[in-house]
Structure 1
Amino acid sequence: MSLYRRSKNGVWWVRFTAPDGRRIRQTTGTVDRTKAQEYHDRLRVELWRVSKLGDKPRRTWQQAVARYLREVAHKAGYEEDNRQTKWLDKYWRDNYLDEITREAVEQVKAAKLSTGVANATCNRMLAVVRAILRKAAYDWEWIDRIPKVRLLPEPKRRIRFITREEAAQLLAVLPKHLAEVVRFSLATGLRKRNVTDLQWSQVDLERRCAWVHPDQAKARKAIAVPLNAEAMLVLRRQQGKHPVYVFCYRKHAPLSCVNGGTWREAVKRVGLADFRWHDLRHTWASWHVQQGTPLHALQELGGWETAEMVRRYAHLAPEHLAEYAEKLAKPRVVDGSGTNLAQAEKRT
């Protein structure tokens, strides 16, 4: 029998032999026998066209998602991609790829925005949609065309960093174990997970360096971490507290949530508006630039993949442009007494 009920929930399944000899057995996703029969008939026609006329088999969104997630499983953004595809399930779970039109994309965009998220959050979802559709069209050749996925405009965000005085105030109100994590973050610029998961096997106190393995780094490239005097002091104080991990709390490690309620309360007490844990990394980079660290060196220190990521901090140290700015002031108009006004200004 081509149609049958497999379970007590009453959902109909199809079972038959395709023209190419494959045994087909899959759910129709419906308890309505008429709709199940329609699904069965359409599937048989599609398989016949693929086998006899050379048509491309129709692939579903779920098939594309499954293959995409397998291919990006090694990437740092896998968890975020997986979360976004799960959110899209309720809209496209049973859709074929050729049914995902520009109108369908606009509908999920509107649905996402209706939850009250910012444009940037919606764009992360749209970026995953675009990546999957492009893979399906250009890499796997499952479909011939894809809709254009337009991202929403995002405001240019300022770099949020704090002064050394503000950092000292924050450290003063944090619990001791959290303060040590913050001190180390400000001294090394490492991302939160790279600090909380840091193991003693990744630290060489004699050579004053640490390292982040490629599978732990966002760009999937190893990061060498030179340890300055502040970082060394923190590590010395942490010795003997845990046999494996550098940072712990009452022998528990790794630290699972350093940016929870305790962190937020401390930030609020000090009066640091709109300051997140990741802004510690922005602060470290900003301090470096203000102290004259070249951008190419900062890129290597921070493990950024592209120079564009580091250029965000360039405006914090415009001193290297002062010479060029001064050139505009040199050819000043000479007054009636023959005095160069620019030179006169310097003398006064």
Structure 2
Amino acid sequence: MALFKRGKTWWIDFTTPSGERVRQTSGTTDRIKAQEYHDKLKSEAWRVFKLGDRPNHTWDEAAHRWLMEKTHLRSYRNMQLVIGWWHQFFRGMLLRDMTREVIQGALNTKAGIWAPGTVKRNLEVLGAILHRAVDEWEWLDHVPRRPQYPKVQRRVRWLTPEDAQRLLQHLPEGTAEMARFALATGLRKNNVLRLEWSQVDTARRVCWIYGDQAKAGKDIHVTLNETALAVLERQRGKHSQFVFVGKRGKPQTQIYIEGWKAALAAAGIANFRWHDLRHTWASWLAQEGTPLHVLQEMGGWADYGMVLRYAHLTPERFAVHASVVDQKLNVTFAAQS
């Protein structure tokens, strides 16, 4: 049976000269097109077996194999979403036909919509798949050229203490408590939302984020200051497992964007996201002289380069080192005099 139907879609079923069975969707409801695709696959299988040609693999095969090999990654769900977006353009396409122009055509559909960082992440996933098809699977002779990554400017937006107090005053009570805790600890949104009492030890004034919950994949140990302890004390007794709960006493699963935007507008604050609470925490510490390597450990950053974006907030930390040159020059001038 060369062709058969599942629902409205035609499927292909044949055995190659090497004895391998090919059973896959044609991706079309048109029988004539399905037959053409069947004949093409069968011809390629013959050439591979008889003439030693390299098999022509499709994007579908590459995407499927990649996902099967990457199930252990913490970013697996996000990777599925990225691959799903590319799939609408590359479904059924041969890897050798994925030229720079084809890839750019797909990206053009999001021109002016996606931020540069989003474009970069999508291209990184696509590039990783294509590189694996060359280096590991040996499906391609070379990696197809891709559009250049857009330059991404690292964004650091932070509030003054006065702005932060004004924002907290306008936020709904439950959201304000979570925002206050984020400002006090520097924890990311999901780490605050999913914080459990089993991760808190107020007697020792610490809480911790397990590695499988942290972005960098490493445990984060947080020293709780008075503000953070006061927030925890107000949350005690509201839920047996989770620290932060909604109005109905159920675990808080998200930050409601309407209330967040309304509070920002009322406080007169623009261009500010929830994650910028973490930037604010880090900026305040940097301005008060916290060494960057200490800040890196406190914030759980894996890459020191991520912390360097706060270096410009503490130029005075170099003053003591710069004064060494003064001493050297003064000794030289004194000797000459």
TM-score of the superposition, structure 2-length normalised?
0.90
Instruction: Give the structure 2 partner of residue 342 of structure 1.
Output: none
Distance between the aligned counterparts of 1:90 and 1:8, measured in 2?
A: 20
Distance between the aligned counterparts of 1:96 and 1:299, measured in 2?
A: 44
Out of 307, 311, 320, the residue aligned to residue 310 of structure 1 is 307
Is the CA contact 1:170–1:266 (under 8 Å) kept in the aligned structure 2? Answer: yes
Which amino acid in 1 is paired with 2:315? P
The within-5 A match list for 1:38-187 is: 38-113=36-111, 116-154=113-151, 156-187=153-184
SS, match of residue 75 in structure 1: coil
Instruction: Give the structure 2 partner of residue 293 of structure 1.
Output: 290
Out of 198, 213, 216, the residue aligned to residue 216 of structure 1 is 213
| Deviation of 1:39 (Å) | 1.6
Distance between the aligned counterparts of 2:152 and 2:17, measured in 1?
A: 55
Q: 1:268 to 1:74 in 2, by over 3 A?
A: farther
SS, match of residue 112 in structure 1: coil
For 1:1-55, what per-residue CA distance to the aligned partner results, in whole angstroms no more than 9, with x for missing partners? 423x32452x433322222223322232334443333222221122223334444
Is the CA contact 1:160–1:279 (under 8 Å) kept in the aligned structure 2? Answer: yes
Bigger shift: residues 62-71 or 224-233: 62-71
Which amino acid in 2 is paired with 1:172? Q
Q: Percent identity?
A: 47
Structure 2 stretches of 5 or more lacking a match? Answer: 331-337
Instruction: Give the structure 2 partner of residue 2 of structure 1.
Output: 2
SS, match of residue 73 in structure 2: coil
TM-score of the superposition, structure 1-length normalised?
0.87
Distance between the aligned counterparts of 2:21 and 2:70, measured in 1?
A: 30
Which amino acid in 2 is paired with 1:143? L
Runs of 4+ aligned residues of structure 1 deviating over 4 Å after TM superposition are 324-332
Q: 1:302 to 1:32 in 2, by over 3 A?
A: same
Instruction: Give the structure 2 partner of residue 205 of structure 1.
Output: 202
For 1:203-223, what per-residue CA distance to the aligned partner results, in whole angstroms no more than 9, with x for missing partners? 112211111111111111111
Distance between the aligned counterparts of 2:50 and 2:226, measured in 1?
A: 73
Q: 1:156 to 1:16 in 2, by over 3 A?
A: closer
Is the CA contact 1:219–1:303 (under 8 Å) kept in the aligned structure 2? Answer: yes
For 1:136-180, what per-residue CA distance to the aligned partner results, in whole angstroms no more than 9, with x for missing partners? 222322222112323343353441100111111111111221111
Is the CA contact 1:242–1:251 (under 8 Å) kept in the aligned structure 2? Answer: no
| Deviation of 1:325 (Å) | 4.4
Is 1:281 aligned with 2:281? no
Distance between the aligned counterparts of 2:148 and 2:225, measured in 1?
A: 42
Q: What is the root-mean-square deviation of aligned Cα atoms in Å?
A: 2.3
Which amino acid in 2 is paired with 1:19? P
Distance between the aligned counterparts of 1:161 and 1:264, measured in 2?
A: 16
SS, match of residue 22 in structure 2: strand
Is 1:239 aligned with 2:239? no
Is the CA contact 2:181–2:231 (under 8 Å) kept in the aligned structure 1? Answer: yes
| Deviation of 1:249 (Å) | 1.4
Is the CA contact 1:60–1:96 (under 8 Å) kept in the aligned structure 2? Answer: yes
SS, match of residue 6 in structure 1: strand
Distance between the aligned counterparts of 1:30 and 1:247, measured in 2?
A: 49
Larger Rg: 1
Instruction: Give the structure 2 partner of residue 337 of structure 1.
Output: none
Bigger shift: residues 314-323 or 120-129: 120-129
Is the CA contact 1:241–1:251 (under 8 Å) kept in the aligned structure 2? Answer: no
SS, match of residue 321 in structure 1: helix
Which amino acid in 2 is paired with 1:2? A
Structure 1 stretches of 5 or more lacking a match? Answer: 333-348
For 1:103-145, what per-residue CA distance to the aligned partner results, in whole angstroms no more than 9, with x for missing partners? 21221222221x6323332222222211221122223222221
| Deviation of 1:274 (Å) | 0.4
Distance between the aligned counterparts of 2:158 and 2:96, measured in 1?
A: 46
For 1:220-279, what per-residue CA distance to the aligned partner results, in whole angstroms no more than 9, with x for missing partners? 111111111211111111110100000001344431221511011101111111010000
| Deviation of 1:83 (Å) | 1.7
Instruction: Give the structure 1 partner of residue 316 of structure 2.
Output: 319
Distance between the aligned counterparts of 2:222 and 2:189, measured in 1?
A: 14
